[in-house]
Amino acid sequence: MNFVASLKCRECGEHYPVEPLHVCETCFGPLEVAYDYQAIRERLSREVIARRPHNLWRYRELLPVNGDPVTGSDSGFTPLLHATRLGAELGVKRLYLKDDTVNHPTLSYKDRVVSVAMAKAREFGFTTVSCASTGNLATAVAAHAARAGLDCCIFMPEGVEAGKIVGSAVYGARVIIVRGNYDDVNRLCTEIADKYGWAFVNINLRPYYTEGAKTFGFEVAEQLGWRLPDHIVLPTAGGTLLPKVAKGFHELVEVGLLAPAPCRIHCAQAAGSAPVVSALHKGTDLITPVKPETIAKSIAIGNPADGYYVLGAVRESGGWGESASDAEIVEAMKLLARTEGVFAEPAGGTTLAVTLKLLAQKRIRPDQTVVVSITGNGYKTLEAAAGSVAQPLVISARLKEFDALFEQLKQDRHPFAGVA
């Protein structure tokens, strides 16, 4: 059963049929999926959800799909870790990590949005799916397309690391490198989306694709025992995730799964790509594009498509935004790995580094419930941390040499050298 009422313009409110459209023909505002919440309220309950498999489709009434999904049976429902060791370091008892480093199949939150896009691509009868990407999105689209049996074409700007190309091409996707700068790639892809009958997940399927991001928020609420945290810190790149988590929280209240409660939503950006945080700090709606310069490549978007809606969602919730330097991001990645055994990509380091700042600013109190969003896996970006971890000790394969090293470590009072 399908509970989607229509597509609706976020700006002028005009309604459109459920088709591969993304822009209001009248005012050019972005389109968003509108649901029949009353019907969902009658059908969906905590008990119904609890009986379903642990994947993102457990909230399917609040996702814009008909029939059975084609991918995503192992996507979503990632752990909400109670971070007791990290919390002890920060003095926060109820600190949680929403851990999409272990989202499947491609280890980032993009598996959520792409699952929904892939289902819609099949429903609309597309045979080729596509996107423009430098990393996580490309990998997710390629992997889900392989599972769905759809052809896949990925566009990348020139200069992308070889590993990123392999990460998509291995799934059988055709990778096309576009000469020119990012603006050129943007223009070309929107032109191709207009001209060719392809499903560009974040262009002509964007209203559906972005709905998948709500599941990140649904899961946080469910995993906290159907409660909202006092604070959630989310990274912002193109601006998909944060406003959709906010929408998801509102929807849970709307359909009777949650009691209304305040939850401050905070935006985290890398200092080298922080147009939304800058606008928040200036108190303006004008987001001035920047040229990204940061190790946090997965959130290095200087001109976020939905930045305006991030501002709105943060302000409405009473939240705030901060940015973190590359050095702060790497330190936070190491802190997270050292205390909780979670190796995040730099975007995760960014959200933790920003959480530290919000605690220092007393915007977050230590007695409150805090969720830090970790949206991608550090194994995909090993180079980001490579220069800042302890170098290995090298010895020959002789016990005597290890004995000497052990004595040295003992003198250095290294923890594993048996010094009580």
Partner 1 sequence: MDRTRERYYLTYPRTLIREPLLYHLVKKFDLMFNIRGASVSEEIGLVALEFEGSPSQIERAIKWLRESGVIVERIEKNVIE
Cα separation, 26 vs 9, whole angstroms: 9
Q: Which is nearer to partner 1, 132 or 370 (CB)?
A: 132
Phi-psi region at 70: left, alpha or beta (left = phi > 0; alpha = psi -120 to 50): alpha
Q: At 6, give phi and psi (nearest 5°).
A: -175, 180
**Per CB under 8 A, does 28 bind partner 1?**
yes
Here's the x/- map for partner 1, 90-119, by CB under 8 A: it reads as --------------------x---------
**Per CB under 8 A, does 134 bind partner 1?**
yes
Residue count at the site for partner 1 (CB under 8 A)? 36
**Per CB under 8 A, does 284 bind partner 1?**
yes
**Per CB under 8 A, does 181 bind partner 1?**
no
**Per CB under 8 A, does 305 bind partner 1?**
yes
Q: Which is nearer to partner 1, 143 or 252 (CB)?
A: 143
Q: Smallest distance, Å, CB 412 to partner 1?
A: 45
DSSP 336-383: HHHHH---B-HHHHHHHHHHHHHHHTTSS-TTS-EEEEE-BBGGGGHH
**Per CB under 8 A, does 172 bind partner 1?**
no
* Contact in structure between 228 and 245 (CB atoms under 8 Å): no
**Per CB under 8 A, does 303 bind partner 1?**
yes
In Å, how far are 1, 132, 247, 281 from 48, measured between CA atoms?
15, 37, 21, 43
User: Tokens representing 138?
Assistant: 């490309």
Please identify which residue in 2, 5, 6, 11 interacts with partner 1, judged by CB under 8 A.
Answer: 11
Q: Which is nearer to partner 1, 26 or 45 (CB)?
A: 26
* Contact in structure between 130 and 190 (CB atoms under 8 Å): no
Q: Smallest distance, Å, CB 170 to partner 1?
A: 20
**Per CB under 8 A, does 196 bind partner 1?**
no
Q: Smallest distance, Å, CB 186 to partner 1?
A: 5
**Per CB under 8 A, does 43 bind partner 1?**
no
CB neighbourhood size of 393 (10 A): 9
Q: Smallest distance, Å, CB 102 to partner 1?
A: 20
C-alpha neighbours within 13 Å on the C-beta side of residue 381: 29
For 404, residues 6+ apart whose C-beta sits below 8 A from its C-beta are none
**Per CB under 8 A, does 202 bind partner 1?**
yes
Q: Which is nearer to partner 1, 77 or 155 (CB)?
A: 155
Q: Smallest distance, Å, CB 230 to partner 1?
A: 30
Q: Which is nearer to partner 1, 98 or 110 (CB)?
A: 110
H or E segment at 322? strand 321-324
Residues 364-403 that bind partner 1 (CB under 8 A): none
Strand, coil or helix: what is 35?
strand
**Per CB under 8 A, does 157 bind partner 1?**
yes
Please identify which residue in 95, 152, 203, 252 interacts with partner 1, judged by CB under 8 A.
Answer: 203
User: Tokens representing 356?
Assistant: 């530290």
Q: Smallest distance, Å, CB 406 to partner 1?
A: 49
The DSSP symbol for 155 reads E
Cα separation, 151 vs 139, whole angstroms: 14
- HEC secondary structure over 82-137: ECHHHHHHHCCCCEEEEEHHHCCCCCECHHHHHHHHHHHHHHCCCCEEEEECCCHH
**Per CB under 8 A, does 304 bind partner 1?**
yes
Interface residues with partner 1 (CB under 8 A) are 11, 22-23, 26-29, 110, 131-134, 136-137, 157, 182, 185-187, 189-190, 200, 202-203, 237-238, 240, 284, 286, 288-289, 301-305
